[in-house]
Amino acid sequence: MPNKLGKIKAPPKTTAPAGGGDPPAPADTSLPDPTSVAKWMLAGMLLLALAVALIWNHFGHAGAPFMPAKDETANFALFAGFYAAAQVIERLLELVSPVLPFWEIPDPTTPGGAAAPVQMATAKAAQIKADRAAAAHGIAAVLGVAASCAFGLFFLQAVGFHASNTIDTFATGIIIAAGTKPLHDLISGLQNKNTPTTGTAT
């Protein structure tokens, strides 16, 4: 249901009534839009990432381009360099994510009166998750650009595009940052799969 903060995540799907009738509608698992604070933080982090690329390359301190030996292992080594950067950033975000968002998330409001406490709690949890994702993407972009400059990771150059080092390091940082989310989901999925069940709910 809509509110001032954007789309609200619906409460979990309930079981069908005992007396029959229509089955319950599937729950909306999409996240609401980030709040304006989260959007401004993401924009600020992207500007900071661009500033890092500009300053680092202006003073000529960007690392030499990462160029693996041109043999049968070159493609794997090139991929491994970008993967290692994404892996390090993903692990660093694990330390930062618990404190995000560090701003107050207002209670969601619904038209036509107050919603049930469970719905309110679900909506606020979804809003916190949406703001956390936006803030984490911004921080990952800054770290990705810094890693690109420090280690000479020029993705555009590696795939054949011609661009300045500033543009290349900024684009590479964004690409590395984008790879941290699926990497995080993969690691979390493997950890959850290998976690023994205790028979208790958390």
Which pLDDT tens digit goes with each residue over 52-98? 999 988 887 677 777 665 555 556 677 788 888 888 998 899 899 88
User: Is residue 199, in this structure, part of any structural domain at all?
Assistant: no
Residue 120 has pLDDT above 50, yes or no: yes
User: Is residue 10, in this structure, part of any structural domain at all?
Assistant: no
User: Is residue 85, in this structure, part of any structural domain at all?
Assistant: yes
Number of domains in the chain: 1
pLDDT at 179: 84
pLDDT interval class at 106 (50, 70, 90) = confident
pLDDT at 22: 52
User: Is residue 38, in this structure, part of any structural domain at all?
Assistant: yes
Residue 196 has pLDDT above 70, yes or no: no
User: Is residue 68, in this structure, part of any structural domain at all?
Assistant: yes
Helix axes 117-151, 74-96, angle to 10 degrees: 130
User: Is residue 149, in this structure, part of any structural domain at all?
Assistant: yes
pLDDT at 146: 94
Q: Mean pLDDT in the chain?
A: 76
Mean pLDDT to the nearest integer, 177-191: 75
Mean pLDDT to the nearest integer, 96-107: 86
Which structural domain, as residue segments, surrounds residue 167?
Answer: 32-190
User: Is residue 87, in this structure, part of any structural domain at all?
Assistant: yes
Task: Report if pTM > 0.75.
Answer: no
* Least confident interval from 20-24, 31-35, 180-184, 191-195: 20-24
User: Is residue 56, in this structure, part of any structural domain at all?
Assistant: yes
| Pair 42, 138: CB distance under 8 Å | yes
